[in-house]
A and B are shown apart, each in its own frame.
Chain A
Amino acid sequence: MSLDVPAVDMRTYLAHVELANPVTTAAGCAGTGRELSQFFDLGRLGAHTTRTITMAPRAGRPTPRMTETPSGLLNAVGLQGPGIEAFLGRELPWLAQRSIRTVVSIGGGSVAEYTALARRLADAPGVTAIEVNLACPNIEDRGRVFARDGAASAEVVASVRSVTRYDVPVVAKLSPDVTDVVAVARACVDGGADALSMINNPLGVCIDVDTLRPALAAVSGGLSGPAVRPLAVRCVWQVHAALPGVPIVGVGGVMTGRDAFELILAGACAVAVGTALFHDPLAAVRILKELEDALAARGFQRLADAVGLAHRPPGSGSRHLEESSL
């Protein structure tokens, strides 16, 4: 079977950085990398994305932090993590020693904090890219989340870009809870973002009708899983349409290769897998294989040819369908 399916060239680019394939782990969903490496070699993925690293260690939110929702879950982990010092001492070296391509996610409460984090990462070996998690409350703006505000997001991105090595791309991670995601995306690109990642979790609330209280200690939490996929596809679609040259990492509810393919057709050149890892520790490698098979079955020789393909005008035909054996 595999003999008649030609291999697909799965390489992709995050700005000028080549990834062997488009499948990465999503920030905050793949631990330190060690946990998943008990199940498969993380080096088989395009990249591993770390949890969001902050300056100081963070204990996160009280429990309950999670509740299952239809085709998804609501979480309020609150960026629990070891802080940059311990990350550089214990987590990044482990990934670097195994040559695992690593996207380091950073988060802060002020432009200065993001910048300080990026500075600390500047001479650390093993950083493939920096992902700026903009879904963090801005302490200088009464806790308003950076991602809600194009100007504030752009300021963070510009500052991080200015202290980051030229060969390390800066990826801005956007939230869907905004009136105009394209405006925020454009502001980030104008601020110097080399790529965009979307979507972070939209916020939701669940109420336990037995206890008559919110299900999460933090009341609201971030929704993830297949429930948010159409939202992710919509954001990727709109931003790719407006900014076709900007690389996009599509994130949201990817459980199968078909789901990943959907985001690619909408305009993503890489796809991050989050919640699916909770359901299936092998999800990321399975999705990679399924995506490759889906591309091959439709006659694609290169992943790059499928990126944004759904945007072509109706009736423009598809050489890929004609070539397909289906």
Chain B
Amino acid sequence: MQTSALSTENIRKDFPILQRMVRDGKPLVYLDNASTTQKPNQVIDAISDYYKNHNANVHRAVYALAEESTEAYEKTREKISKFLNIKNKEEVIFVRGTTEAINLVAYTWGRQNIKKGDIIVTTEYEHHSNIVPWQLLAKEKGAKLEYIGINDNGELILDHLDSYLETGKVKLVTFSQMSNVLGTISNSEEIIKRCKKAGVKTLVDGAQSVPHMKVDIEKLDCDFFAFSAHKMLGPTGVGVLWVRKEILETMPPFHGGGDMIREVHKYETTWNDLPYKFEAGTPNIADVIGFSAAIDYLSNIGMDAIRQHEIDLTKYALEKMSQVKGITIYGVKDILNRGGVISFNFHDVHPHDVATIIDREGIAVRSGHHCAQVLMERLNVAATNRASFYIYNTKEDVDKLIKSLEKVSELYKL
């Protein structure tokens, strides 16, 4: 047995929910981390401490509490910048999540820059949040939305990108750094390099990558980057949009209101500095502060150790799962090019039935289309089951999963 890259035993103690039982006394085996992760005490306590001791609106008043809350809120921005190697912290905009981040880009930069006949390129393995906003924009502007296809191994076909770029009409290429269904890690640096050469802007959806591997935005060299706190131990309702400063300076505001203005007169308004121009209204202060504790937690373990832990676990799971009767596993075989997300199906068994049967053993996996119906069509399935891992999952969790999957094979005589 390989030794684990991190101490799951100690980590699990920090997560109260992992101590609870479900379905008549079965310990919870939580394997739906690609959807959202559980929260450690450190995050829960940071939010509670904020409300108990520091609660006040940010960026407005001068009294002690207001100063404390503003400082804690702004410190998170600094922390994120360090965590992802971002040079200018004013490029970090707090939003509700990845979905809002992408919509913000579509509504502001997109509306200003996309014209009739232009092409926006996305991929076949995108989450709906990286498809629908672009469909809306393309419809409004008379632009075209095109897809980089995937091969049978679940990898992007970069030749498709090249042929779109050759048309000279592409304005934006938008793609996820890691697929939430197949776990494929995109060849992001290569895609961005080719786009740069063609003078095309790039948006990277980091919802699945930032929680699970080291991401260096400076090195990545994209133009827009989006991710969500709740998929990396943080609270729901917080996410980040990063935009390269030269672009951010040219973007019109998204929402109008308080905090985003410098001066408001009856018929004219001037905008606040970056990033506040894009953070209208009272922000989600408590959860931003909770997010700060989540980043501390991950940084203390180290993103390289987290990645190694998930490689070990995924390798173990793939080996064991492939021996279950009647199972089909989707996606990349090379463990170094995939994250800890495993999508699978059983012969003629609907994923919903699989999820119900294994739920009786306390095992939580997702069944459905995973907000990726374009990919489901490509795979020619209506839905899949998906198990996804995080820092607190163990080989014992995988063993329990396998045992419950064997029950499915037995019940259906596969």
The finding on whether chains A and B are genuine partners in a shared complex, rather than unrelated, reads no
